[in-house]
Amino acid sequence: MNHVSVTCYDQQRQLPLIKADDPELKGVYSQVLQDVIKRVDKAYDAFFRRIKAGQKAGFPRFHSNRRYDSLTYPQGGFDIEGNVLHLSKVGDVKVKLHRPVEGNVKTLTIKRECGRWYACFSVEMDTPEPMPHTGEITGIDVGLTSFAVMADGEHIENPRYYRTAQAQLRRTQRRVSRRKKGSNRRRKAVGLLKRAHQHVKNQRADFHHKESRKLVDRFSLIAVEDLNIKGLAGGMLAKSVNDAGWGSFLDKLTYKAEYAGRVLVRVNPNGTSQRCPCGASVPKTLAVRWHTCTACGLSVNRDHASALEILRLGLSLQASTQSGATCVA
């Protein structure tokens, strides 16, 4: 059997003929349709790459109109004036701008989340001016008792948004379970469940944005652990680790530091809780929450000692770390 490979551009060239046969597609902007083909092409490229690598393949799934939650204008066909967004083949849509649109707008993605629609602009901007040097440095130890502890001993409390909302989520989930599959009532119940989870997600993201912004504004050098968060999230503390959202927080901290010209250093996490900042070994189990070093006499909270050790490791890399860069020890 001869196999013929159909490229992304082969499919795009067929679009005019397909649109001529389907009146509904005439109401869709041509570049939006081309972007859909690019998405399909990426999905199949990833599928065949996983097969060659011997991984679980996961055949690309067809997305119905209920599952297809975004469309992209890759080059043009849109314009924004004040609080009105002009979309080709759609019309004028009133929007609420979260912030002024700065720079040269390149693409626009219209996204649906839990019944609400968002317009996401991708822009090109000039390299920002670095923030003034503050001279302050810190190491950050993320945890579950406190969300984070800094080298000066300051604690950031863990808000535990999922734990707080768990009772409401349980009730909303029961409502979905009691509805007949395929019914309109079940669809409405699923929508309520999505909004409940989305609210928790938004609370967590807001917390991460605000705390990472405070840290970047305050410190010129920030040292953090290069954690295997995916591995931690699969252990016995998975719910608490996912609720804290360390990965999302560190991602936000990384790009904010780069944008502000700060130095962010990622250090090897192995042994940071088993050593004293003086370099002496102080082994302790997870149940031991207080650090006492017989070599230097340091007696502080375990997380505080870890933050000091993370800062020490970060400073050891400072000579090889440039402003706005990320290094790993």
| pLDDT confidence of residue 243 | 96
| pLDDT confidence of residue 319 | 58
Report the C-alpha gap between 303 and 225 in whole angstroms: 13
Buried b / exposed e across 186-215, counting CB within 10 Å, b at 16+?
Answer: beebbeebeebeeebbeebeebbeebbeeb
Domains of the chain and any CATH numbers: 1-67 (no CATH), 69-126 (no CATH), 137-160+208-328 (3.30.420)
Q: Residue 89 — left, alpha, or beta (φ > 0 → left; ψ -120 to 50 → alpha)?
A: left
Report the C-alpha gap between 54 and 82 in whole angstroms: 51
| pLDDT confidence of residue 24 | 86
The low-confidence residues of the chain, meaning pLDDT below 50, are 321, 323-329
Which residues have CB under 8 Å from 313's CB, separation 6+? 139, 223, 265, 267, 268, 272, 329
The set of catalytic residues is: 141, 225, 303
The one-letter amino acid code at 186 reads R
Mapped onto helix, strand or coil, the DSSP state of residue 119 is: strand
φ, ψ dihedrals at 211, nearest 5°: -70, -40
Buried b / exposed e across 221-240, counting CB within 10 Å, b at 16+?
Answer: bbbbbbeebeebbeeeeeeb
| pLDDT confidence of residue 286 | 85
